[in-house]
Amino acid sequence: MNEKFTDTISNFKSIALQWNLILVGQKEIPYGIQLEYSWQDETSKINIYFSEKKDRISFTVPKKDTLLNYYLNEAVIQVQKKNSSPNITDLHNWKNWIGSDESGKGDYFGPLVVAAFYCKYQDITVLQNLGVKDSKQLQDPQINIMAQKIMERFPNQYQLITLIPKKYNELYNNFTQNKKNLNHLLSWCHSKVIANLARKFNPEGIFVDRFTNQGIVEYYLNSEKIDSCDIIQAHQGERDIAVATASILARAKFNAGIDYFSKQIGIAIPKGGGANTITAGKQIVKKLGQTALEELAKLHFKNTQKII
């Protein structure tokens, strides 16, 4: 069997295994090989073909819209990147840096979570093989699994701040009383998680997914005495793999908070800030009283007025 084809199959199996996809069958087919995988109660098959004439490898995954097929397609994307040299990014040329992002900012219920991740050049391939990308492009079950793997693989390279709603409301009120706003609170949170990592690793740079005026973030970073390395703030910062990793860690922690509060009160708490949060809020007030919102929701949202 062609060495390039053999390596591709091996790489695919390795990536699938990292995502807990179980190989339950394998057989040769004309011009290639078929792999059968299972995940939870789903099964699916992927065909991998090799053309000697064109020296080309191709993949076919069933089109049925299932989470397992989504994982298989993502594994295909990752294995196609495997043989190419990883580029850090077109945004900077640091060999080690910190990326930060947040989750829960636009959600009425649940915590605000800010995460930072310290990334070294040699970590890039590992993160790519795990499927790391902007958490908004992933489904929550994927995010939760991926975050667990990141934390297991890099136990000392991340920091999280989780503001449960009661603490969030308290801090938000403190900031607004001092003529500051949510962006100041977010900047303060970003500076805390970044500083904790920066003091440990002394990175070349810091990359923040931009959410406000750059001066506000830099002010809080300076207050933490983090002013000796380059700082980039950019929209769509998840293009950077460290920021993307932070976004996954933050989202997974936010998901855990939503699940926890839902179980605590016996009501399924929705994500986001739409009409379903108002419906749920009214259910919560009816069952537990208005004070329950202080423990579960970000009270400065206009949703609160519509609920009570």
Q: Would you state the pLDDT for residue 170?
A: 97
Q: Are residues 103 and 248 in the same domain?
A: yes
Q: Would you state the pLDDT for residue 283?
A: 96
Q: Would you state the pLDDT for residue 85?
A: 41
State how far the Cα of 145 lies from the Cα of 129, in Å rounded to an integer.
14
Q: Would you state the pLDDT for residue 86?
A: 43
Q: Would you state the pLDDT for residue 87?
A: 47
Q: Are residues 147 and 43 in the same domain?
A: no
Last residue within a domain, chosen from 39, 59, 82: 82
102 in Cβ contact with 162 (< 8 Å): no
The answer to the question of residue 214 being in a domain is: yes
Domain that holds residue 228: 96-258
Q: Would you state the pLDDT for residue 90?
A: 64
Q: Are residues 252 and 103 in the same domain?
A: yes
Tens of pLDDT along the chain (308 residues) come to 677 788 888 888 988 887 788 999 999 999 899 999 998 788 999 999 988 777 788 888 887 877 788 888 878 877 876 644 444 446 788 999 999 999 999 899 999 999 999 999 999 999 998 989 877 778 899 999 999 999 999 999 999 999 999 999 999 999 999 999 999 999 999 999 999 999 999 999 999 988 888 889 999 999 998 877 889 888 778 889 999 999 999 999 999 999 999 999 999 999 998 889 999 999 999 999 999 999 999 999 989 999 98
Q: Are residues 69 and 102 in the same domain?
A: no
H-assigned helices in the chain: 3-18, 67-82, 124-129, 140-153, 165-177, 182-201, 214-223, 241-265, 275-288, 291-296, 303-307
- Count of domains for the chain: 2
Q: Kindly list the strands in the beta sheet with 42-51, ordered across the sheet, starting from the edge strand earlier in the chain.
A: 22-29, 32-39, 42-51, 56-60
Q: Are residues 60 and 120 in the same domain?
A: no
The answer to the question of residue 180 being in a domain is: yes
CA 185 to chain centre: 21
pTM tops 0.85: no
Last residue within a domain, chosen from 38, 59, 82: 82
Q: Are residues 60 and 175 in the same domain?
A: no
Q: Taking the CA atoms of 178, 182, 184 and 186 in sequence, report the sign of the dihedral they define.
A: positive
Shortest CA distance to 41 belongs to which of 77, 67, 7, 64? 67
CA 230 to chain centre: 24
CATH number at residue 244: 3.30.420.10
Q: Are residues 48 and 166 in the same domain?
A: no
